[in-house]
Amino acid sequence: MVPQLMKPLRAFRRKYAYVTAQPSGRAAVFFTLEGILYTLAFNMVNNNNNLFAMRLGASDLQISLLSTFSQITGLTFLVPGAILTDRLSDKRRMVTLALLMLSVSYILIGFTPFLGAYRYYAFLVLMSISVCPLTLYNTSWQAYFSDVIPIEHRNRILSSRTAGTFLAGMAVSLVCGNLLAAFEGYDAKIRVHQSFFWTASALFIIQIAILNQIDRTGDGTRKAVKLSEIKETIVGLSRNKLFLSFLGTSLFFHMTWQTDWTLYFLGQVRYLGLNEAWLSYVSIGGTLAQFLSVGLWRRVNDKMGVRFGIIFGSIGLACCAASMLIATSLPVSAGPVVFLILNTLSNVTYPAVQMNVLQCLLQAVPEKNKTLSISIYTMFISLSNAFMPMLGVTVYTAFGGDLIAYRTTFLIIFCLRIISTGLWTLRWYLLRNEPK
């Protein structure tokens, strides 16, 4: 019996030894583990933020303000953080510092329900502040990843990391959704939300330990950035046609994507009547579709290039808007099931967004002052994220705030996403003779 039980362990050890012997194999393993931990922590909190805010007494507009305030606060860290990151001899230091700050922030947020009448406002303020290290993590991670991983290995490693994060996303959605559904009463559910924040805080600390196991294998440069070079970087990017074409297309894409971030939640809860368990099923269905299709989009990227693959990612987001339109047009008894099916199918192309936007960005930014260039791009995306979810709610409210207004708003969003898909297609066509 014991030898039989040891066979899977020995097979795993052989597989691990083989993978780590490949170029950048060790980094692939640890980047995947690091991504899984980050996804567990991030989704545990952010998948349930709107529910938590609602249970703390937030209105529809106040729920949308979570995104607005968070993004505006995060902007304050972008450029200073980029300059400091590029000055560091090892960009991993900034990544781990950001995770440590995020861990502390989540510990504090877990105590906000004890603040009585001020608990929503305390949650809003602390959640907004926590986006500063979160933004810093995302920006410095992108620069660190491109330093550590040579360009020829990025697609393979990103696809491995993305597959791992999708599995983690499914697990955390299933567990968290059913935990929240199992407890009755707002007080009990709020205590579950608090446990999510504190568990996420611990996971970030483990993530730091994993990051410290990654060896440097790339040849990225690490030149200190002087304050006077900010102007030089901006001028250089303004003359970089490859960067400008990417920025314009990506910004419009994100604007159409971010418009429904609050509305999508409101539609599921208000018009489709989904509870916590159903919300987790929707999340799991979408994540399962993403996980199963990662290999497909990795092969598409290898053959056709990342600029081609992102077109299908944009089509998928248009299909998500169509899914909500169709589901909210049906009787309440049928809407949830149809939405679950259509939303799951729409998520088949999402890995092309997850993997390709970053790779398109790394293609477009120069190596010099790379982190600063990424931060300038991220500033535009963050500004969009600060206002578009609130704009979506405002348009919906202006149309009347009912089901007809909701469907009208989503029809507009669907049309804008079709235009966004056309822009990605045009960019791919114009650059079809450039390196993939």
- Among 231, 223, 240, 235, smallest CA distance to 368 is for 223
Which amino acid is present at 436?
K
- Among 126, 109, 128, 118, smallest CA distance to 67 is for 128
At residue 215, the pLDDT reads 67
**56 vs 4: which has the higher pLDDT:** 56
Q: Which two tokens stand for residue 83?
A: 């300059």
Domains and CATH numbers, the chain: 24-214+227-430 (1.20.1250.20)
Distances (CA, A) of 372 to 147, 215, 226, 231, 274: 14, 23, 11, 11, 42
At residue 8, the pLDDT reads 42
Which amino acid is present at 211?
L
Asked which of 119-133, 160-174, 306-320 is least confident by mean pLDDT, the reply is 160-174
Residue 343: count of CB within 10 angstroms of its CB:
22
Dist CA 370 CA 86 (whole Å): 8
Q: Which two tokens stand for residue 31?
A: 């980047």
- Among 343, 349, 347, smallest CA distance to 323 is for 343
What digits encode the pLDDT tens for the residues 247-292? 999 999 999 999 998 899 899 989 999 987 888 889 889 988 988 9
Residue 61 pLDDT exceeds 70: yes
Asked which of 73-87, 206-220, 221-235, 307-321 is least confident by mean pLDDT, the reply is 221-235
What digits encode the pLDDT tens for the residues 347-404? 999 999 988 998 899 899 887 777 788 888 988 988 888 789 889 999 999 999 999 9
Residue 147 pLDDT exceeds 70: yes
At residue 319, the pLDDT reads 97
Asked which of 60-64, 173-177, 214-218 is least confident by mean pLDDT, the reply is 214-218
Torsion on CA atoms 336, 342, 344, 350, rounded to nearest 10: -130
Residue 303: count of CB within 10 angstroms of its CB:
10
Torsion on CA atoms 141, 70, 65, 287, rounded to nearest 10: 20
The pLDDT of 327-356, averaged and rounded, is 94
Dist CA 295 CA 362 (whole Å): 21
Predicted structure pTM score? 0.71
Dist CA 371 CA 138 (whole Å): 11
Percent of the chain residues topping a pLDDT of 70: 90
Query: What is the overall mean pLDDT for the chain?
Result: 85
Dist CA 248 CA 252 (whole Å): 6
Question: How many residues in the chain?
Answer: 436
φ, ψ (nearest 5 deg) of residue 282: -60, -45
